[in-house]
Amino acid sequence: MDSADLRTRLAEADLPDEAVEALSARLDDDSASSAGVARAIALPWTPGQARPLAIAPVRNALESEHSAPPQAVAAIAEHVTAHYAQASADQASHSPTRLLCLHGPNGVGKTAVARSTARALDRPCEVIDLAQLGTAEEIWRRDRQPGALMGAVERAQSAEAVIVLTGIDRAAERWGSQASALLARLTDPHRRANVLDPFFGVPFDLSRVLLVVTCRWTQPLATDDLSRLDLAELPGFLIDQKAELARRTLIPAALADHGLTPDALTFHGNALLVLIRSYTDEAGVARLDELLRRVIRRTLVANTLGGDASPSVIESEHLFDLAGRPPVPERRDRRAQRLGQSAALVVDQHGGRRGDVTAVLMPGLGHALVPGFGRITMLDTTGANVSNDLAVVTSAIRGRLSDLQVSARFLQEFDMHVQAPRSTLAGDSGSAGLAVAIAIVSLARDRPVDPELAATGSLSVDGRIEPTVAVAPKVLAAHRAGVRRVLLPRGNERDLDDLPPRIHDDITFIPVDDLAQALQVALR
């Protein structure tokens, strides 16, 4: 398109005066890109028709489509309401604009929640995967194409779109202070109202855009970063919630993607629950969705080979052939619990996890510096030595032998190896400490551990139990694993208020202050 045509389009377009001046100046510059000017003219400069905020559809969508916890629904509703009030104010606000942050493990539907929120608000939604960007600067500018942010606005063709930036925690780990600078810039009202992308060469107002960021955990974010965010936690699903999501959303979507009607396949009886319990061990439903699609594909193949076009009914006994061997081992017979075994609640990228702690004894071989003094070696499930991470556990035990009823001679005469799960969450590496201490003392006192109990919490050198993080994902993991009692630090007692009532019905929570108190509960 030549310069004359662009000037005609510019004159006919409904653009702010500043934008017309800036684009006219670009047309006078022979080196300016005509494509950039043409696309700048086509940006959504005119705000959409003002509509009153209807928050009820947002709440209904989050509760019915995603089984979002009430606290998350409330946080999202509050943020959306505040955003509408700020965007529709007669005078521009000079206070920082907060961003909505959806946080939770992989597969819990953070991006899907943002999309549902956008649909309920009747706004388009665009997603920017921060992992695909080399630097934070690519949000604002890229070579020969718009920056990621303005590119999303151009695709959405709306200045009131919902734009989701996924993986801000990973970005913080990669970019360091650049990620903090990005959040500061996105929440600065003046800079939000004057975003200048070099490709378009004209400032654009993003005040009405609803920006959402997602992350697995908030721990990698700096304190100043957290102050710019309205947090809504999506910790994961209960087993019956997974089943309901599968019936209502995952199965119909998978069938439609394979060109099948909703009644082409059904799960009979408890087949779906067996698939969830025996084949998945995650907070979200990504693995479940993958398995459902595998079942559908293999059922299609079987029906095609057999010439059967009738609806398929999946029974529990069909799952081995259709889904393969269950990767999740059968739950251990609780009556077969042995000495030196306990259960720890930790977290990884997939959410909370219940992991076994096993301690075994062997004749002491002495120590290079202290002959005859028993060694306690601790390994994680990969075989890596984590003795340094959990060194405080042995200090807490050896420093209170009398209170814990542990024989000093026992610890001197025997070496001990302990295998324990490790939490991969920053700042939570010691959360298996309480469970490790229980397993060690179980051996030392020749008393088995309550097999229906799991524990989380780190220890101090004097045996106090320190508060832990990510309580909700850990408790959800305990519920999925059938745990009946949970030991946790007294300092986390308040976190229990946010758990679903169903969990309180099925699990007894026992807050404890120190190791001696925990052992009274844990050892039989």
pLDDT in the model for residue 311: 65
Whether 146 has a pLDDT exceeding 70, the answer reads yes
Alpha carbons 373 and 347: distance in angstroms, whole number: 34
Segment 474-483 shows an average pLDDT of: 94
Are 353 and 346 spatial neighbours (Cβ–Cβ below 8 Å)? yes
Per residue in 178-212, pLDDT (tens digit) is 999 999 999 999 999 999 999 998 999 999 999 99
Segment 410-417 shows an average pLDDT of: 84
> Could you tell me the sign of the dihedral formed by the alpha carbons of 38, 40, 42, 45, in that order?
negative
pLDDT in the model for residue 364: 64
pLDDT band at 368 (very low <50, low <70, confident <90, very high): very low
With a threshold of 0.85, does the pTM exceed it? Answer: yes
pLDDT in the model for residue 61: 93
Whether 449 has a pLDDT exceeding 60, the answer reads yes
Query: How do the domains of the chain map onto residue ranges?
Result: 3-41, 55-233, 239-323, 334-522
pLDDT in the model for residue 13: 83
Whether 337 has a pLDDT exceeding 70, the answer reads no
More confident residue, 114 or 386: 114
3-state DSSP assignment of residue 183: helix
Whether 372 has a pLDDT exceeding 80, the answer reads no
pLDDT in the model for residue 488: 96
> What is the third-level CATH fold of 55-233?
Rossmann fold (3.40.50)
Alpha carbons 184 and 189: distance in angstroms, whole number: 10
For tokens 């606000």, the residue is: 93
pLDDT in the model for residue 49: 66
Whether 333 has a pLDDT exceeding 60, the answer reads no
Alpha carbons 521 and 336: distance in angstroms, whole number: 19
pLDDT in the model for residue 18: 86
Q: List all residues 6 or more positions away from 115 whose beta carbon is below 8 Å from its beta carbon.
A: 125, 162, 164
Helices (H), 13-109: 17-28, 34-41, 55-66, 70-87
Q: What is the mean pLDDT of the chain?
A: 89
Alpha carbons 445 and 407: distance in angstroms, whole number: 8
- Could you say which architecture CATH assigns to the domain 334-522? 2-Layer Sandwich (3.30)
- Could you say which architecture CATH assigns to the domain 239-323? Orthogonal Bundle (1.10)
Are 361 and 443 spatial neighbours (Cβ–Cβ below 8 Å)? yes
Q: List all residues 6 or more positions away from 307 whose beta carbon is below 8 Å from its beta carbon.
A: none
